[in-house]
Amino acid sequence: MNAMKIGIAGLGTVGGGVAKAFAKSGEMLGVRAGTPLEIVAVCDRDEAKREAFEAPQKFDDVRALAASNADLIVELIGGENGAAPLLVEEALKAGKHVVTANKAMMARHGARLAALAEQHGRALKFEAAVAGGIPIVKSLRESLMTYGISAVRGILNGTCNYILTQMEATGRSFADVLKDAQALGYAEADPELDVGGGDSSHKLALLTALAFGVKPDLDAVAVQGIRHITPEDIGFAREFGYRIKLLGIAKKTAQGIDQRVQPSMVRAGTPLADVDGVLNCVVVDANEAGSFFFEGRGAGECATANAVIADIVDIARGNAGSVFGLPSASLLALSAAPSGSAASAFYLRFQVLDVPGVLAEIAGHLAQWRVSIESMIQRGRAPGEAVSIVMITHETKQADVERALATIAASRNVIAQPCLIPMESK
């Protein structure tokens, strides 16, 4: 029986994990795949990394790997542009299947690459690109299709979830906990892609495409990170019975598909709220079929390598399928809901001078934009000093709340940008 020949580009943590898994369990994986699986080529610009791998062919140029005798290319280079999409394009044109863990590339170029894969009759799979070891891509593409999907929500970045969990547990600031996360290897030296919400937006764009049969549209995702979250916000959330999580949310509405990455108040005791540390989770609302909850490791050598190898085995079995669950010609252009049209209750925190009339001033501006208050906390009295006023609104449109806050922020009695956090109803 002829083996399926595999070439790997990008020999970092995940590439090493794939190689170790084949060394340990390659024979069993071949049995599951129905054909032997063999790593025949590797590619990396770093010679030391290439030499550390046992493979007959070793390249420093992705074009050479694409032209090799491999039947399937695993792209683990990363990056939205440059070598990664070049390799995928060249490999597909050369008649090779592709497995990738590259969320940024798929979020930006996924529709075009899907059409190229179909044109050449080859598979393009990306399970490892979203939520690491959680099999959410396969579930959305193949399992949860009968009744359609109304919403997808999830904790899609382990770095942010670790930081928020530690801030809650210790009362320490964002900056302090970020330093710990970097020391532990959970955050990069430049953490902005994680803490700014960009990483989550890449993953959300792909989940949206899979859930709603649309082309990935990264530019339609509204993104807010977690740098502005304070221990005070986390403490107030606890008092109201909530926890703060960075969520990616894609929801079908009458006005279009709403895609948001933002810190959110999640009711304590719910499965979503109970996901701690570096774990990820995804909740899929599948209409009549009900709600489905997926939880697991969103990154790391073994979890991500497992997802990569699952795609390899799937392709070896002959399970190609459409990249996003539908033929590329059937994917619709995303019709985005208007910015700020999402409605919910909101947590609002104002840092103000404790002077007569400041509360009435804030309430008046909120009323002007039809924002009504359900509950409020004001701590202590410190005439002339800074104090926090915290409010929970009734359900209202985010755009109206933002307009009210813009007016309030201009007051001489408001000494910091107001904090706004949506509250998830379930």
Burial class (CB in 10 A: 0-12, 13-18, 19+), 134: buried
Choosing from 203, 215, 251, 397, which is the catalytic residue? 203
- The answer to whether 41 and 335 are in contact (CB under 8 A) is no
- Active-site annotation holds for 179: no
C-alpha to C-alpha distance for 4 and 325, rounded to whole angstroms: 24
C-alpha to C-alpha distance for 22 and 20, rounded to whole angstroms: 5
Strands 72-75 and 97-100: parallel
233, 416, 407, 356 alpha-carbon torsion, rounded to 10°: 90
Q: Which residues, other chains included, contact 4 with Cβ-Cβ below 8 Å and sequence gap of 6+?
A: 33, 35, 36, 37, 38, 71, 72, 312, 315, 316
> What Cα–Cα distance (Å) separates residue 334 from each residue in 31, 142, 214, 217, 218?
41, 21, 5, 7, 10
DSSP codes joined into one string, 111-131: HHHHHHHHHTT--EE-GGGSS
Q: What is the largest CA-CA distance in the chain?
A: 84
> What Cα–Cα distance (Å) separates residue 11 from each residue in 27, 90, 185, 309?
22, 19, 18, 15
Secondary structure letter of residue 186 according to DSSP: S
349 three-state secondary structure = strand
Catalytically active residues are 203
